[in-house]
Copies of this chain bind each other. A is one copy, B any other.
Amino acid sequence: MASTFKHHRRLYWYEAIIALLLLLGAAQAYAENREFELTIEERKIQVAPDLEYQVFAYNGQVPAPLIHVKEGDDVTIHLTNNTTLPHTIHWHGQYQRANLVDSTEPSNWKMDGVPGVTQKAVQPGETFTYKFRAEKTGSTWYHCHVNVSEHVGMRGMWGPLIVDPAKPTKLEKKVTKDVIMMFSSWDSNYAEKLGSGGSPVEPSNYFSINGRSFPTTQPINVKKGDVVRFRMFGAGGELHSIHIHGHDMLITHKDGLPLPAPYYADTILVAPGERYDAIMEMNNPGIWMVHDHIDPHVTNNGKHDGGVMTVIAYEGMMPVMSDDSHGMLPNDDPDFYYSESMKKPYGMYNNEHFAGAPLQTEGRRERRREQHDAH
């Protein structure tokens, strides 16, 4: 009996160790299923004080809601198209490799969102369900893939899809504040012509961060000691050469993935489709401009100051006013760069500051249908 009892105790210890290892492995591997609803609405947003613009807005807002998940999560999105034109969603950066939808297919490629290639476009009134595994980590994004020169270039059909890696880098773990900046541009001639625009021979004349041009951008509010992570997206059709005053950016990620050789820069060129992450310690109190150095991009239709321009504002610092009408930025949306939403648990988050207003009447819908048929 004594020997049996002793034998039993040894198994108990082994079992405990094995159970602990299994739990640790499971904790590491545990991926969530996350399910969200997205609609597309026709809206108008205030891009600049003198520019109201008609858009196709995911969940009625531009930019689209933040989707924030963890590496390995399975994401389900029910997309309902409440507009008068067809659309899709392409999950830019995601591999669509893990097959979640159709076991007869060799991969998840039919969730890639390309009309005519991976699916039929989602028609007005239809609902389509996307399902994919968040395999690619970091700053990825989602956008329409129908008639991109209009829908992506000029109608705000894009939002951030941030996938936290299972194994973040040492530096990433120090970040205390995410700042998501999606750069894009607009052609005022098409502000009220939903369904057209995007020609290569017609230049843009307004430029924006998260769909807003200075002075309707917001300051980036920080305190000394913050470790800030810029997540910069080339969301529209123009390039943007982003310059920060008072600090160097350490460029750490390209298109979501860590760079093998991060480098310092005070100015970074962001081309359409690209993402760059930069990490900086806020160790230099003051008010520091952050802006596009492509000089016409800090105008609104040629008038200064405007466009892709904001400031890093350290707590307690006040700008010097002047009669150069530089203006003080409004300071009423702490989530303008998704900083607050990025601190919440994984999920999808709307931002009512990004929401657009409904368009006029049925009369307008008729006109757009005519334009579309004329295409």
Residues of A within 8 A of B (CB): 86, 90, 92-93, 95-97, 105-107, 109-110, 112, 114-121, 136, 145-150, 152-153, 198-205, 207, 224, 234, 236-237, 239, 241, 243, 245-248, 254-257, 259-267, 269, 271-274, 283-289, 293-299, 301-304, 311, 314, 317, 319-327, 375
Contact = CB atoms under 8 A, between A and B. Distances in A.
Contacts of A224: 106
Number of copies: 3
A326 B116 contact: yes
Contact of A201 (B148, B205, B288, B311): B205
Nearest to A201: B203
B265 A254 contact: yes
Given A105-B286, A271-B293, 7 more contacts: A93-B266, A109-B246, A148-B298, A149-B298, A153-B296, A234-B267, A257-B265
B107 A273 contact: no
B205 A203 contact: no
B271 A146 contact: no
A146 B324 contact: yes
B267 A115 contact: no
Given A109-B285, A271-B267, A304-B148, A200 B200 contact: no
4 closest A-B pairs by CB: A116-B326, A109-B286, A273-B293, A199-B302
Contacts of A297: 200
A263 B254 contact: yes
A116 B148 CA distance: 38
Contacts of A117: 287, 289, 311, 319-320, 326
A301 B202 CA distance: 11
